[in-house]
Structure 1
Amino acid sequence: MANEINGFGPRNLGPNSSLDSSRSRTEAKGESQQATGSATTGIKEDDAVTLSSGASQLQEMGQALAESAPFDQAKVDLIKDLISQGEYQIDSGRIAEKLRQFETL
């Protein structure tokens, strides 16, 4: 069972309604073009973007990371050789200490 509500439609929402019958679509279009004139005509020559020093540093770090190797291949090869020869020693005390330090952060 549905209740009928009369008097509430797009034309009864007030003067800011997008379907307000007192204004034509042409008038609304002309006003919006005036409000966004810079968007339709392009960028002005005096417009500029400046980055803060922190943003500049972050950008430089990102470029440095992109150019560097993701890991140290020489170290990986050394560890592989030590493992294959049975000479790789695991320092369990050092691992435990690092885990403890991580947990206290």
Structure 2
Amino acid sequence: MTEKITYVNNTQQFDELIGSGKLVLVDFWATWCAPCKMIAPVIEKLADQYEGKISVAKVDIDEQQELAIRYGIQSIPTVILFKDGKIAEKEIGVKPLNSFTKLIDNHTATA
């Protein structure tokens, strides 16, 4: 685990994070989810690669059910890119690193 990733502990922390004005990439996951474990190293690489440009967070849907319900998370992993507190992009399932870098780069170019 990298210290560049924020592990969300409550809805207030989450709301402050996505309302920060930065792009925020959020990985909705669960400890029992095998595909979530597969994508974890990709999320860590993104946190390293985009340090200072975007914020990266992880939300355990079992611990933060309210957030999972709020964003309609039905399949995990679900990765959502927030811009100005709103959903800019959403990816569901395991994707390669370049899939996420394209997604982020499209929004950092206009940010």
| Greater length-normalized contact order (CA 8 Å, ≥ 6 residues apart) | 2
Please state which structure has a larger fraction of its residues in helix. Answer: 1
Same fold, TM-score > 0.5, yes or no: no
Please state which structure has a larger fraction of its residues in strand. Answer: 2
Structure showing greater radius of gyration is 1
Normalised by the size of structure 2, how large is the TM-score? 0.17
Normalised by the size of structure 1, how large is the TM-score? 0.17
